[in-house]
Amino acid sequence: MIRSLSCNRIMDWANEECHGWSLLFEPITIVDTLSNVHLIDSLLQYGCALCKTFGTCANIFKVINRIIHRQCSTQVKATRRQTKKLKAQTAPPPQLSEPLPQEFTPTFTITEETIHQTDSANYAQTYLKNKLRKAVTPLWKLPYKKQLELKQLRNSKVLMKLTNSLIEQEAEIGLTETLDRTHRFGGLCCQLDTIKPSPVTEGYRNKSELSVGVGADGNRKTVGLFIGEWKKKNIICLPSDPARNISQAHKNVEKAYQTFLLQSSLDVSLSFKDNGNWRGLVVRSNQEGDLMAIVSFTQSDLSETETEDAMLSLQDFFAYGEGKDCGLSSLYFQSSFRTRATNEDAPFHLLLGKPHLHETLFDLQFRISPDAFFQVNTPATEVLYSTVMELCDLGQDTTVLDLCCGTGTIGLVMADRVKEVVGVEVIQQAVEDARVNAELNAISNATFVCGPVEEILPDILPTLEGSGDLVVVANPARAGLHPRVIRIIRSSQSIRRLVYISCKPDGTAARNFTDLCCPPTTRLHGKPFTLTRAVPVDLFPDTYHCELALLFER
Protein backbone atom coordinates (compact mmCIF):
# COMPACT_ATOMS: atom_id res chain seq x y z
CA MET A 1 0.00 0.00 0.00
CA ILE A 2 1.27 3.45 -0.91
CA ARG A 3 1.00 6.27 1.61
CA SER A 4 1.82 9.72 0.29
CA LEU A 5 3.33 12.45 2.43
CA SER A 6 1.87 15.87 1.65
CA CYS A 7 4.62 18.40 0.93
CA ASN A 8 2.57 21.08 2.69
CA ARG A 9 2.29 18.97 5.87
CA ILE A 10 6.02 18.27 5.86
CA MET A 11 6.71 21.97 5.45
CA ASP A 12 4.32 22.81 8.29
CA TRP A 13 6.10 20.39 10.63
CA ALA A 14 9.53 21.56 9.57
CA ASN A 15 8.61 25.22 9.96
CA GLU A 16 7.25 24.48 13.42
CA GLU A 17 10.41 22.69 14.49
CA CYS A 18 13.23 24.54 12.82
CA HIS A 19 11.95 27.71 11.16
CA GLY A 20 12.52 27.24 7.49
CA TRP A 21 14.32 23.94 7.11
CA SER A 22 11.21 22.60 5.35
CA LEU A 23 12.67 24.01 2.16
CA LEU A 24 15.04 21.05 2.19
CA PHE A 25 12.19 18.63 1.53
CA GLU A 26 10.26 18.03 -1.69
CA PRO A 27 7.13 15.85 -2.05
CA ILE A 28 8.07 12.32 -0.94
CA THR A 29 6.03 9.17 -1.36
CA ILE A 30 6.72 6.32 1.05
CA VAL A 31 6.08 2.73 0.05
CA ASP A 32 6.45 -0.46 2.05
CA THR A 33 9.41 -1.72 0.01
CA LEU A 34 13.08 -2.13 0.75
CA SER A 35 13.93 0.76 -1.54
CA ASN A 36 11.73 2.99 0.58
CA VAL A 37 13.62 1.92 3.70
CA HIS A 38 16.79 3.00 1.91
CA LEU A 39 15.21 6.40 1.42
CA ILE A 40 14.30 6.68 5.10
CA ASP A 41 17.79 5.65 6.21
CA SER A 42 19.33 8.12 3.80
CA LEU A 43 17.12 10.89 5.12
CA LEU A 44 18.27 10.05 8.63
CA GLN A 45 21.92 10.02 7.55
CA TYR A 46 21.39 13.30 5.72
CA GLY A 47 19.88 14.89 8.82
CA CYS A 48 22.74 13.63 11.00
CA ALA A 49 25.32 14.96 8.56
CA LEU A 50 23.60 18.34 8.58
CA CYS A 51 23.56 18.36 12.36
CA LYS A 52 27.30 17.69 12.46
CA THR A 53 27.92 20.43 9.92
CA PHE A 54 25.59 23.02 11.41
CA GLY A 55 25.36 22.76 15.18
CA THR A 56 22.39 25.10 15.36
CA CYS A 57 20.04 22.93 13.34
CA ALA A 58 19.75 19.72 15.30
CA ASN A 59 15.98 19.91 14.96
CA ILE A 60 16.40 18.51 11.42
CA PHE A 61 16.69 15.08 13.02
CA LYS A 62 13.46 15.62 14.97
CA VAL A 63 11.57 16.66 11.86
CA ILE A 64 12.63 13.58 9.91
CA ASN A 65 11.78 11.35 12.85
CA ARG A 66 8.31 12.86 13.06
CA ILE A 67 7.78 12.32 9.35
CA ILE A 68 8.69 8.66 9.76
CA HIS A 69 6.79 7.92 12.96
CA ARG A 70 3.61 9.74 12.03
CA GLN A 71 3.30 8.72 8.40
CA CYS A 72 4.88 5.31 7.92
CA SER A 73 2.68 2.25 8.19
CA THR A 74 3.28 -0.40 10.82
CA GLN A 75 4.69 -2.66 8.14
CA VAL A 76 7.26 -0.08 7.04
CA LYS A 77 8.30 0.49 10.65
CA ALA A 78 8.77 -3.24 11.15
CA THR A 79 10.80 -3.47 7.95
CA ARG A 80 13.01 -0.61 9.10
CA ARG A 81 13.69 -2.31 12.44
CA GLN A 82 14.50 -5.55 10.65
CA THR A 83 16.88 -3.74 8.30
CA LYS A 84 18.66 -2.08 11.21
CA LYS A 85 19.18 -5.48 12.80
CA LEU A 86 20.60 -6.86 9.54
CA LYS A 87 22.93 -3.87 9.18
CA ALA A 88 24.38 -4.49 12.62
CA GLN A 89 25.07 -8.13 11.74
CA THR A 90 26.21 -7.93 8.13
CA ALA A 91 26.86 -5.22 5.61
CA PRO A 92 27.51 -1.46 5.87
CA PRO A 93 24.47 0.86 5.75
CA PRO A 94 22.66 0.71 2.42
CA GLN A 95 23.11 3.72 0.15
CA LEU A 96 21.16 5.06 -2.76
CA SER A 97 23.45 3.25 -5.19
CA GLU A 98 20.58 2.56 -7.57
CA PRO A 99 18.08 5.21 -8.58
CA LEU A 100 14.59 4.88 -7.19
CA PRO A 101 11.61 4.86 -9.53
CA GLN A 102 11.21 8.33 -11.02
CA GLU A 103 8.14 9.21 -8.96
CA PHE A 104 9.97 8.43 -5.70
CA THR A 105 13.37 10.01 -6.41
CA PRO A 106 14.06 13.07 -4.23
CA THR A 107 15.19 16.20 -6.04
CA PHE A 108 18.30 16.60 -3.87
CA THR A 109 21.41 14.42 -3.68
CA ILE A 110 21.74 12.68 -0.32
CA THR A 111 25.44 12.01 0.20
CA GLU A 112 27.73 13.47 2.82
CA GLU A 113 30.25 14.26 0.09
CA THR A 114 27.95 16.70 -1.67
CA ILE A 115 26.28 18.38 1.30
CA HIS A 116 28.49 21.47 1.01
CA GLN A 117 27.88 21.54 -2.75
CA THR A 118 24.09 21.59 -2.54
CA ASP A 119 21.66 24.26 -1.46
CA SER A 120 21.75 23.01 2.14
CA ALA A 121 24.53 25.48 2.95
CA ASN A 122 22.37 28.30 1.62
CA TYR A 123 19.48 27.18 3.79
CA ALA A 124 21.76 27.07 6.81
CA GLN A 125 22.95 30.59 6.09
CA THR A 126 19.36 31.77 5.71
CA TYR A 127 18.45 30.15 9.02
CA LEU A 128 21.35 31.84 10.83
CA LYS A 129 20.65 35.21 9.21
CA ASN A 130 17.03 35.03 10.30
CA LYS A 131 18.12 34.09 13.80
CA LEU A 132 20.35 37.18 13.91
CA ARG A 133 17.51 39.34 12.61
CA LYS A 134 15.27 37.95 15.34
CA ALA A 135 17.88 38.73 18.00
CA VAL A 136 18.79 42.24 16.83
CA THR A 137 15.63 43.42 15.06
CA PRO A 138 12.88 41.12 16.38
CA LEU A 139 10.07 43.00 14.59
CA TRP A 140 11.71 42.95 11.16
CA LYS A 141 8.90 40.87 9.63
CA LEU A 142 6.16 43.29 10.72
CA PRO A 143 5.15 46.27 8.56
CA TYR A 144 6.17 49.48 10.30
CA LYS A 145 2.56 50.48 10.94
CA LYS A 146 2.02 47.21 12.83
CA GLN A 147 5.22 47.78 14.81
CA LEU A 148 3.89 51.14 15.98
CA GLU A 149 0.58 49.57 17.00
CA LEU A 150 2.43 46.95 19.04
CA LYS A 151 4.55 49.58 20.80
CA GLN A 152 1.47 51.66 21.53
CA LEU A 153 -0.10 48.63 23.19
CA ARG A 154 3.04 47.90 25.22
CA ASN A 155 3.13 51.47 26.55
CA SER A 156 -0.56 51.26 27.38
CA LYS A 157 0.19 48.16 29.47
CA VAL A 158 3.01 50.02 31.26
CA LEU A 159 0.64 52.81 32.22
CA MET A 160 -2.07 50.34 33.22
CA LYS A 161 0.35 48.63 35.60
CA LEU A 162 1.33 52.00 37.08
CA THR A 163 -2.34 52.97 37.38
CA ASN A 164 -3.24 49.80 39.27
CA SER A 165 -0.28 50.24 41.61
CA LEU A 166 -1.26 53.81 42.46
CA ILE A 167 -4.92 52.88 42.96
CA GLU A 168 -3.93 50.18 45.44
CA GLN A 169 -1.61 52.47 47.39
CA GLU A 170 -4.19 55.26 47.56
CA ALA A 171 -6.95 52.85 48.57
CA GLU A 172 -4.97 51.87 51.65
CA ILE A 173 -5.36 55.41 53.00
CA GLY A 174 -8.83 56.06 51.60
CA LEU A 175 -7.91 58.11 48.51
CA THR A 176 -9.43 57.75 45.03
CA GLU A 177 -7.63 60.43 42.98
CA THR A 178 -6.06 58.04 40.48
CA LEU A 179 -9.22 55.96 40.25
CA ASP A 180 -11.24 59.09 39.45
CA ARG A 181 -8.88 60.04 36.61
CA THR A 182 -9.16 56.64 34.94
CA HIS A 183 -12.72 57.46 33.82
CA ARG A 184 -11.34 60.26 31.63
CA PHE A 185 -8.45 58.30 30.08
CA GLY A 186 -9.92 54.92 29.21
CA GLY A 187 -8.81 53.20 32.40
CA LEU A 188 -5.36 54.83 32.49
CA CYS A 189 -4.10 57.39 34.97
CA CYS A 190 -3.16 59.90 32.26
CA GLN A 191 -3.50 60.81 28.62
CA LEU A 192 -1.52 58.47 26.35
CA ASP A 193 -0.73 60.11 23.01
CA THR A 194 -0.45 58.16 19.78
CA ILE A 195 3.13 57.04 19.24
CA LYS A 196 5.24 59.31 17.02
CA PRO A 197 7.03 57.39 14.24
CA SER A 198 10.69 57.58 13.33
CA PRO A 199 11.43 59.56 10.14
CA VAL A 200 13.82 56.76 9.08
CA THR A 201 13.36 53.03 9.60
CA GLU A 202 16.51 51.48 8.06
CA GLY A 203 20.21 52.09 8.67
CA TYR A 204 19.29 54.60 11.36
CA ARG A 205 21.87 53.67 14.00
CA ASN A 206 24.69 56.20 14.31
CA LYS A 207 26.53 53.88 16.70
CA SER A 208 27.21 50.16 16.21
CA GLU A 209 28.89 48.06 18.90
CA LEU A 210 30.38 44.97 17.27
CA SER A 211 31.98 41.96 18.92
CA VAL A 212 34.67 39.45 18.00
CA GLY A 213 34.05 35.75 18.47
CA VAL A 214 33.83 32.29 16.96
CA GLY A 215 31.75 32.30 13.79
CA ALA A 216 29.46 29.64 12.35
CA ASP A 217 32.40 28.29 10.36
CA GLY A 218 34.64 28.05 13.44
CA ASN A 219 36.64 31.17 12.59
CA ARG A 220 37.72 32.77 15.89
CA LYS A 221 38.29 36.11 14.17
CA THR A 222 34.70 36.75 13.15
CA VAL A 223 33.48 40.33 13.64
CA GLY A 224 29.77 40.97 14.09
CA LEU A 225 26.96 40.32 16.55
CA PHE A 226 26.38 37.44 18.96
CA ILE A 227 23.42 35.08 18.79
CA GLY A 228 22.61 32.19 21.10
CA GLU A 229 22.63 31.88 24.88
CA TRP A 230 25.66 31.98 27.15
CA LYS A 231 24.14 29.55 29.64
CA LYS A 232 23.61 27.01 26.86
CA LYS A 233 27.13 27.65 25.53
CA ASN A 234 25.87 27.94 21.96
CA ILE A 235 27.01 31.51 21.31
CA ILE A 236 28.34 32.27 17.84
CA CYS A 237 29.32 35.54 16.17
CA LEU A 238 27.72 36.45 12.84
CA PRO A 239 28.36 39.35 10.45
CA SER A 240 25.83 42.15 10.89
CA ASP A 241 24.76 42.10 7.22
CA PRO A 242 21.17 40.94 7.92
CA ALA A 243 20.54 43.70 10.50
CA ARG A 244 18.82 46.46 8.56
CA ASN A 245 19.08 49.01 11.38
CA ILE A 246 22.85 49.16 10.76
CA SER A 247 24.02 51.26 7.81
CA GLN A 248 26.14 49.86 5.00
CA ALA A 249 28.95 52.25 5.91
CA HIS A 250 29.19 50.67 9.37
CA LYS A 251 29.11 47.19 7.84
CA ASN A 252 31.98 48.13 5.52
CA VAL A 253 34.14 49.09 8.51
CA GLU A 254 33.17 45.82 10.20
CA LYS A 255 34.29 43.78 7.17
CA ALA A 256 37.53 45.73 6.90
CA TYR A 257 38.32 45.08 10.58
CA GLN A 258 37.74 41.36 10.10
CA THR A 259 40.12 41.39 7.13
CA PHE A 260 42.69 43.10 9.36
CA LEU A 261 42.26 40.49 12.10
CA LEU A 262 42.77 37.65 9.64
CA GLN A 263 46.01 39.27 8.48
CA SER A 264 47.25 40.05 11.99
CA SER A 265 49.69 37.69 13.67
CA LEU A 266 48.06 38.44 17.03
CA ASP A 267 45.11 36.39 18.22
CA VAL A 268 41.75 37.76 19.33
CA SER A 269 40.69 37.96 22.97
CA LEU A 270 37.49 35.98 23.45
CA SER A 271 37.88 36.30 27.22
CA PHE A 272 40.38 38.06 29.43
CA LYS A 273 41.98 34.72 30.33
CA ASP A 274 42.93 33.43 26.87
CA ASN A 275 45.98 35.69 26.30
CA GLY A 276 44.45 37.05 23.09
CA ASN A 277 44.66 40.71 22.15
CA TRP A 278 42.24 42.11 19.57
CA ARG A 279 38.71 42.70 20.80
CA GLY A 280 35.55 44.53 19.76
CA LEU A 281 34.85 47.42 17.41
CA VAL A 282 32.61 50.47 17.81
CA VAL A 283 31.61 52.46 14.74
CA ARG A 284 30.05 55.92 15.04
CA SER A 285 28.80 58.24 12.32
CA ASN A 286 26.95 61.49 11.70
CA GLN A 287 24.42 62.56 9.10
CA GLU A 288 27.18 63.99 6.91
CA GLY A 289 28.71 60.54 6.51
CA ASP A 290 31.79 60.97 8.71
CA LEU A 291 32.91 57.73 10.36
CA MET A 292 34.71 57.06 13.64
CA ALA A 293 36.06 53.61 14.53
CA ILE A 294 37.19 52.61 18.04
CA VAL A 295 39.13 49.34 18.33
CA SER A 296 39.47 47.64 21.71
CA PHE A 297 42.64 45.78 22.65
CA THR A 298 43.96 43.76 25.58
CA GLN A 299 47.70 43.99 26.13
CA SER A 300 47.82 40.62 27.89
CA ASP A 301 51.46 39.47 28.03
CA LEU A 302 52.69 41.77 25.24
CA SER A 303 55.46 44.25 25.89
CA GLU A 304 54.96 47.97 25.34
CA THR A 305 56.92 47.72 22.09
CA GLU A 306 54.74 44.89 20.81
CA THR A 307 51.60 46.84 21.73
CA GLU A 308 52.98 49.85 19.88
CA ASP A 309 53.60 47.67 16.82
CA ALA A 310 50.00 46.45 16.98
CA MET A 311 48.76 50.04 17.01
CA LEU A 312 50.91 50.94 14.02
CA SER A 313 49.73 47.91 12.05
CA LEU A 314 46.11 48.95 12.66
CA GLN A 315 46.91 52.51 11.63
CA ASP A 316 48.67 51.42 8.43
CA PHE A 317 45.81 49.11 7.45
CA PHE A 318 43.17 51.86 7.59
CA ALA A 319 45.43 54.63 6.30
CA TYR A 320 47.18 52.86 3.42
CA GLY A 321 45.90 49.28 3.24
CA GLU A 322 42.59 47.64 2.39
CA GLY A 323 40.83 49.56 5.14
CA LYS A 324 41.49 52.86 3.38
CA ASP A 325 38.35 52.39 1.27
CA CYS A 326 36.20 52.78 4.40
CA GLY A 327 37.06 56.48 4.46
CA LEU A 328 37.40 56.78 8.22
CA SER A 329 37.36 60.30 9.61
CA SER A 330 38.69 59.07 12.98
CA LEU A 331 40.41 55.91 14.20
CA TYR A 332 40.93 55.25 17.90
CA PHE A 333 42.77 52.50 19.77
CA GLN A 334 41.95 51.65 23.40
CA SER A 335 43.85 49.10 25.48
CA SER A 336 41.97 47.91 28.55
CA PHE A 337 41.41 44.88 30.78
CA ARG A 338 37.72 45.76 31.08
CA THR A 339 34.83 45.04 28.73
CA ARG A 340 33.69 48.66 28.88
CA ALA A 341 36.08 51.43 29.82
CA THR A 342 35.83 55.22 29.75
CA ASN A 343 38.59 57.56 28.67
CA GLU A 344 39.48 58.02 32.35
CA ASP A 345 39.85 54.25 32.86
CA ALA A 346 41.81 53.60 29.68
CA PRO A 347 42.73 56.55 27.42
CA PHE A 348 41.72 56.50 23.77
CA HIS A 349 44.67 56.87 21.39
CA LEU A 350 43.90 58.73 18.17
CA LEU A 351 45.64 56.89 15.32
CA LEU A 352 44.06 58.55 12.33
CA GLY A 353 42.03 61.64 11.40
CA LYS A 354 40.23 64.18 13.57
CA PRO A 355 39.52 63.66 17.28
CA HIS A 356 35.74 64.20 17.18
CA LEU A 357 32.61 63.89 15.10
CA HIS A 358 30.13 66.76 14.86
CA GLU A 359 26.38 66.31 14.52
CA THR A 360 23.62 68.81 13.80
CA LEU A 361 20.39 69.03 15.82
CA PHE A 362 17.96 71.95 15.38
CA ASP A 363 20.69 73.92 13.57
CA LEU A 364 23.05 73.47 16.53
CA GLN A 365 26.42 71.72 16.31
CA PHE A 366 27.33 69.01 18.81
CA ARG A 367 30.76 67.47 19.36
CA ILE A 368 30.84 63.71 19.90
CA SER A 369 33.80 62.01 21.59
CA PRO A 370 34.49 58.25 21.34
CA ASP A 371 32.62 57.34 24.54
CA ALA A 372 30.09 60.17 24.74
CA PHE A 373 26.37 59.36 24.82
CA PHE A 374 24.30 60.46 21.86
CA GLN A 375 20.88 59.14 20.84
CA VAL A 376 21.37 56.44 18.18
CA ASN A 377 18.68 57.71 15.78
CA THR A 378 19.43 61.35 14.97
CA PRO A 379 16.33 62.24 12.87
CA ALA A 380 14.02 60.67 15.47
CA THR A 381 15.91 62.46 18.23
CA GLU A 382 14.65 65.77 16.87
CA VAL A 383 11.10 64.41 17.11
CA LEU A 384 11.75 63.36 20.72
CA TYR A 385 13.30 66.68 21.76
CA SER A 386 10.46 68.64 20.13
CA THR A 387 8.05 66.56 22.22
CA VAL A 388 10.04 67.20 25.40
CA MET A 389 10.07 70.96 24.79
CA GLU A 390 6.31 70.90 24.29
CA LEU A 391 5.79 69.02 27.57
CA CYS A 392 8.11 71.38 29.46
CA ASP A 393 5.98 74.41 28.51
CA LEU A 394 9.06 76.63 28.42
CA GLY A 395 9.12 80.37 29.01
CA GLN A 396 11.68 83.13 29.39
CA ASP A 397 11.42 82.76 33.18
CA THR A 398 12.10 78.99 33.08
CA THR A 399 15.18 77.33 34.53
CA VAL A 400 15.84 73.85 33.16
CA LEU A 401 17.62 71.33 35.38
CA ASP A 402 18.89 68.68 32.96
CA LEU A 403 19.72 65.47 34.85
CA CYS A 404 21.91 62.83 33.16
CA CYS A 405 22.52 65.40 30.44
CA GLY A 406 25.20 63.55 28.47
CA THR A 407 26.77 65.94 25.96
CA GLY A 408 24.14 68.56 26.82
CA THR A 409 21.95 68.11 23.77
CA ILE A 410 18.52 68.51 25.41
CA GLY A 411 19.44 71.52 27.53
CA LEU A 412 21.30 73.33 24.76
CA VAL A 413 18.41 72.87 22.34
CA MET A 414 16.18 74.59 24.93
CA ALA A 415 18.69 77.29 25.90
CA ASP A 416 17.42 80.05 23.61
CA ARG A 417 13.88 79.64 25.01
CA VAL A 418 14.65 79.76 28.73
CA LYS A 419 16.45 81.83 31.32
CA GLU A 420 19.03 79.23 32.37
CA VAL A 421 20.09 75.61 31.80
CA VAL A 422 21.98 73.55 34.40
CA GLY A 423 23.15 70.09 33.37
CA VAL A 424 24.45 67.26 35.58
CA GLU A 425 26.37 64.29 34.17
CA VAL A 426 28.61 61.63 35.72
CA ILE A 427 30.96 61.07 32.73
CA GLN A 428 33.73 63.67 32.66
CA GLN A 429 34.33 63.48 28.91
CA ALA A 430 30.63 64.04 28.21
CA VAL A 431 30.64 67.13 30.45
CA GLU A 432 33.65 68.50 28.59
CA ASP A 433 31.83 67.90 25.32
CA ALA A 434 28.74 69.68 26.68
CA ARG A 435 30.81 72.72 27.61
CA VAL A 436 32.46 72.76 24.20
CA ASN A 437 29.05 72.39 22.56
CA ALA A 438 27.84 75.46 24.43
CA GLU A 439 30.85 77.41 23.15
CA LEU A 440 30.42 76.11 19.58
CA ASN A 441 26.89 77.47 19.53
CA ALA A 442 27.63 80.70 21.44
CA ILE A 443 25.32 79.69 24.29
CA SER A 444 26.14 81.55 27.50
CA ASN A 445 23.21 80.62 29.77
CA ALA A 446 24.13 76.93 30.18
CA THR A 447 26.41 75.42 32.84
CA PHE A 448 27.37 71.79 33.32
CA VAL A 449 28.46 69.97 36.48
CA CYS A 450 30.26 66.61 36.60
CA GLY A 451 29.36 64.00 39.19
CA PRO A 452 26.72 61.46 40.23
CA VAL A 453 23.29 63.11 40.19
CA GLU A 454 22.42 61.80 43.68
CA GLU A 455 25.52 63.53 45.07
CA ILE A 456 25.42 66.77 43.08
CA LEU A 457 21.70 67.52 43.29
CA PRO A 458 21.56 68.33 47.05
CA ASP A 459 24.24 71.00 46.51
CA ILE A 460 22.91 72.75 43.40
CA LEU A 461 19.16 72.54 44.04
CA PRO A 462 19.13 75.16 46.85
CA THR A 463 20.81 77.64 44.49
CA LEU A 464 18.03 77.19 41.93
CA GLU A 465 15.05 77.39 44.28
CA GLY A 466 13.28 80.69 44.03
CA SER A 467 14.73 81.33 40.57
CA GLY A 468 11.32 81.27 38.90
CA ASP A 469 9.78 78.40 36.97
CA LEU A 470 11.99 75.37 37.69
CA VAL A 471 11.55 72.42 35.32
CA VAL A 472 13.44 69.13 35.64
CA VAL A 473 14.27 67.04 32.58
CA ALA A 474 15.62 63.56 33.32
CA ASN A 475 17.00 61.22 30.68
CA PRO A 476 18.67 58.45 32.69
CA ALA A 477 19.99 55.08 31.59
CA ARG A 478 17.65 52.09 31.48
CA ALA A 479 17.92 51.50 35.22
CA GLY A 480 16.34 54.89 35.91
CA LEU A 481 17.21 57.54 38.48
CA HIS A 482 18.80 56.71 41.80
CA PRO A 483 16.10 56.40 44.55
CA ARG A 484 17.78 59.22 46.43
CA VAL A 485 17.24 61.54 43.45
CA ILE A 486 13.50 60.84 43.53
CA ARG A 487 13.38 61.61 47.27
CA ILE A 488 15.22 64.92 46.73
CA ILE A 489 12.90 65.96 43.89
CA ARG A 490 9.77 65.17 45.91
CA SER A 491 11.09 67.12 48.88
CA SER A 492 11.74 70.25 46.80
CA GLN A 493 8.64 72.44 46.66
CA SER A 494 10.20 74.54 43.86
CA ILE A 495 9.93 71.72 41.32
CA ARG A 496 6.45 71.80 39.85
CA ARG A 497 7.09 70.02 36.59
CA LEU A 498 9.24 67.02 35.65
CA VAL A 499 9.66 65.47 32.20
CA TYR A 500 11.07 61.96 32.44
CA ILE A 501 12.41 60.25 29.30
CA SER A 502 12.61 56.47 29.57
CA CYS A 503 13.73 53.94 26.97
CA LYS A 504 12.63 51.05 29.21
CA PRO A 505 9.56 52.16 31.16
CA ASP A 506 8.60 48.57 31.96
CA GLY A 507 11.91 47.93 33.75
CA THR A 508 13.34 49.22 37.01
CA ALA A 509 12.52 52.80 35.98
CA ALA A 510 8.86 52.01 36.70
CA ARG A 511 9.71 52.22 40.40
CA ASN A 512 10.66 55.87 39.82
CA PHE A 513 7.21 56.61 38.39
CA THR A 514 5.45 55.03 41.35
CA ASP A 515 7.63 56.83 43.88
CA LEU A 516 6.97 60.18 42.23
CA CYS A 517 3.18 59.74 42.34
CA CYS A 518 2.43 57.68 45.43
CA PRO A 519 1.08 59.20 48.67
CA PRO A 520 3.70 60.43 51.16
CA THR A 521 5.45 57.80 53.26
CA THR A 522 8.17 57.76 55.90
CA ARG A 523 10.66 57.41 53.04
CA LEU A 524 9.06 59.74 50.49
CA HIS A 525 8.23 63.21 51.77
CA GLY A 526 6.59 66.10 50.00
CA LYS A 527 3.52 66.44 47.86
CA PRO A 528 3.25 63.70 45.22
CA PHE A 529 3.34 64.44 41.50
CA THR A 530 0.53 63.56 39.12
CA LEU A 531 1.33 61.88 35.82
CA THR A 532 -0.70 63.95 33.35
CA ARG A 533 0.55 62.91 29.93
CA ALA A 534 2.68 60.25 28.24
CA VAL A 535 4.02 60.45 24.68
CA PRO A 536 5.79 57.49 23.03
CA VAL A 537 8.38 58.31 20.36
CA ASP A 538 9.89 55.55 18.25
CA LEU A 539 13.67 55.79 18.02
CA PHE A 540 14.26 52.08 17.44
CA PRO A 541 12.33 50.67 14.44
CA ASP A 542 12.28 46.86 14.09
CA THR A 543 12.71 46.45 17.86
CA TYR A 544 10.29 46.36 20.79
CA HIS A 545 11.80 49.51 22.29
CA CYS A 546 10.80 53.14 22.04
CA GLU A 547 11.27 56.26 24.13
CA LEU A 548 8.45 57.29 26.45
CA ALA A 549 8.28 60.93 27.54
CA LEU A 550 6.23 61.34 30.73
CA LEU A 551 5.01 64.63 32.17
CA PHE A 552 4.70 64.76 35.99
CA GLU A 553 3.10 67.86 37.52
CA ARG A 554 2.00 69.11 40.94
425 marked as binding residue: yes
Positive/negative CA dihedral, 349, 354, 357, 363: positive
- Per DSSP, helices labelled H in 398-517 are 409-414, 428-440, 453-464, 483-491, 509-517
- CA separation (Å) from 249 to 203, 291, 517? 9, 8, 45
Q: Of 338, 170, 323, 173, whose CA–CA distance to 256 is shortest?
A: 323
> What's the CA gap between 432 and 341, in Å, rounded?
17
Helix axes 509-517, 144-171, angle to 10 degrees: 40
Phi, psi of 551 (to 5 degrees): -105, 115
Q: Phi/psi zone of residue 187: left (φ > 0), alpha (ψ -120 to 50 degrees), beta?
A: left
503, 517, 518, 546: which one is catalytic?
Answer: 503
CB-CB contact of 359 with 412 (8 Å): no
- The length of the chain in residues reads 554
147 marked as binding residue: no
Upper half-sphere CA count for residue 384 (Cβ side, 13 Å): 29
The DSSP code for 443 is: -
> What's the CA gap between 426 and 485, in Å, rounded?
14
CB-CB contact of 264 with 302 (8 Å): no
The vertex-528 CA angle with 527 and 534, nearest 5°, equals 145
> What's the CA gap between 103 and 27, in Å, rounded?
10
475 marked as binding residue: yes
CB-CB contact of 258 with 222 (8 Å): yes
503 is catalytic: yes
Beta-carbon count within 10 A of 214 CB: 16
> What's the CA gap between 375 and 379, in Å, rounded?
10
Beta-carbon count within 10 A of 467 CB: 14
Beta-carbon count within 10 A of 207 CB: 17
Q: Of 537, 540, 532, 538, whose CA–CA distance to 549 is shortest?
A: 537
Q: In sequence order, what are the residues at sequence separation of 6 or more whose Cβ sits closer than 8 angstroms to the Cβ of residue 286?
A: 206, 357, 358, 359, 360, 368, 378
> What's the CA gap between 398 and 418, in Å, rounded?
5
Binding residues for S-adenosyl-L-methionine, as ranges, are 375, 425, 475
Enumerate the active-site residues: 503
